[in-house]
A and B are shown apart, each in its own frame.
Chain A
């Protein structure tokens, strides 16, 4: 019997489950290696060379190079691991998180100050049909 995944019908959301973790294992482990200050320096000096040590897919490498966090998450990344890439770039969580939304960082921060994104119209996939 297949695993029941009732969370698949939530829009704009990728739940980091064991299947995602299997896809993103080396992407996440690479990102976690940036907890170490020396590794952050090595990565900043030559990103491509640093990534050669990790058995990631081409798509995952491209997503890292482009700092496309939505794409990294789709390819098995988890935000707490990926945040270390943002930290290495000198970004905070607000900046990292806003990059995945249709807002820029200031627009996102303003939305948060105004109470955040409402759950109304944001609970089910069908509510997002017809969006870009």
Chain B
């Protein structure tokens, strides 16, 4: 049977991808951040899963305003990196896992989440930057990836509560998939940032750090925080952090098990306009 072995949380700032693509990771502006990523990369090389369910938001690269699905699941065998206006990133195509996608669709939709199913879609920096952060610059990504798109661009966006519950439903689905697979759920986006208006550049370090603490220790409490607090305290684009709750919801303690083990945490300001966070939680069931 498949199992959720860990959850990974990561910002997906486009400038981080650009720094890697242009070979600028040793420059003073980026060196401390990439040094901070090293322990996560080491952990990942020892704990590479078979499949990552990667929760992120599209940034007007796959979904325009014609259709705004709240939750959309990728069903494909392959996903191409999008041209976001600067040309596509020079990174490998994302290889999917259609059989697990199909199982997730059946299980999660029957579990009352009305997912939109997407058979053909490009993936933007929201998906490819976390892969670059965790895996570096390989010829091919070392595992399959199932993209799960969450609308956090056009209000109304889903509540923290709904995101946490979706994570729970994903865990139930993974645990009923017959193949023997290690699956990680990644929640991406954030941390505090605002990319628009005269208030642009907002960063709230105390709030971000309290968010990580509470995500780890009291996910139900964090899930009850309303949207306006995210926007007011963490900036208009800080609302992306609700997607971390999807990954947190997939941990075993929220299904009657014991608390996950925190193996890595990073907080860094800034990358471009954004506060950067990274967190890895190992599921208790992953360690005998």
Which residues of A are in contact with B by a Cβ distance under 8 Å?
6-7, 10-18, 21, 25, 28-29, 31-32, 34-37, 40, 69-70, 73, 78-81, 83-84, 86-88, 92-94, 97-98, 100-103, 108, 111-113, 115-119, 122-124
Contact (A6, B228) CB under 8 Å given A102-B198, A116-B269, A122-B202? yes
Extra inter-chain contacts (20) besides given A17-B155, A35-B85, A119-B207, CB under 8 Å? A7-B228, A10-B231, A14-B197, A14-B236, A15-B155, A16-B154, A18-B156, A21-B65, A35-B83, A36-B83, A69-B196, A81-B64, A97-B196, A98-B201, A111-B201, A112-B273, A116-B203, A117-B200, A117-B202, A122-B202
Q: Which residues in window 139-170 of B have CB below 8 A to A?
A: 153-156
Instruction: Name 13 interchain pairs, CB-CB below 8 A, sorted by A.
Output: A11-B198, A21-B65, A29-B66, A32-B60, A32-B64, A40-B85, A80-B59, A93-B272, A100-B198, A101-B198, A108-B201, A115-B205, A116-B192
Partner of B201 from the list A69, A81, A101 (CB cut-off 8 Å) is: A101
- Pairwise interchain contact A79-B15, C-beta atoms closer than 8 A: no
**Whole-angstrom distance from the CB of A105 to the nearest CB of chain B?**
11
Chain B residues with Cβ below 8 Å from A36 are: 83
Closest to A119 in B: B204
Which residues of B are in contact with A by a Cβ distance under 8 Å?
14-15, 18, 29, 59-61, 64-66, 68, 82-87, 153-156, 192, 194-205, 207, 226-228, 231-233, 236-237, 269-270, 272-273, 275
Chain A residues with Cβ below 8 Å from B18 are: 92
Contact (A87, B60) CB under 8 Å given A28-B65, A92-B15? no
A118 to B68, CA, bound (A): 32
Majority-rule SS of A interface residues? helix
Chain B residues with Cβ below 8 Å from A14 are: 196-197, 236
- Pairwise interchain contact B200-A97, C-beta atoms closer than 8 A: yes
- Pairwise interchain contact B153-A78, C-beta atoms closer than 8 A: yes
- Pairwise interchain contact A83-B202, C-beta atoms closer than 8 A: no
A36 to B205, CA, bound (A): 37
A124 to B228, CA, bound (A): 12
- Pairwise interchain contact B60-A28, C-beta atoms closer than 8 A: yes
Contact (A11, B60) CB under 8 Å given A97-B273, A119-B204? no
Closest to B29 in A: A113
- Pairwise interchain contact B198-A78, C-beta atoms closer than 8 A: no
- Pairwise interchain contact A87-B84, C-beta atoms closer than 8 A: yes
- Pairwise interchain contact A18-B83, C-beta atoms closer than 8 A: no
Partner of A12 from the list B85, B197, B205, B273 (CB cut-off 8 Å) is: B197
- Pairwise interchain contact B197-A73, C-beta atoms closer than 8 A: yes
Contact (A88, B85) CB under 8 Å given A6-B228, A16-B154, A25-B65? yes
Chain B residues with Cβ below 8 Å from A16 are: 153-155, 236
- Pairwise interchain contact A100-B269, C-beta atoms closer than 8 A: no
**Whole-angstrom distance from the CB of A42 to the nearest CB of chain B?**
14
- Pairwise interchain contact B201-A112, C-beta atoms closer than 8 A: yes
- Pairwise interchain contact A13-B196, C-beta atoms closer than 8 A: yes
- Pairwise interchain contact A100-B84, C-beta atoms closer than 8 A: no
Q: Which of B156, B198, B200, B228 has the most CB of A within 10 A?
A: B200
- Pairwise interchain contact A13-B84, C-beta atoms closer than 8 A: no
**Whole-angstrom distance from the CB of A131 to the nearest CB of chain B?**
9
Closest to B237 in A: A79
**Whole-angstrom distance from the CB of A114 to the nearest CB of chain B?**
9
Chain A residues with Cβ below 8 Å from B195 are: 79, 93, 97
A34 to B233, CA, bound (A): 32
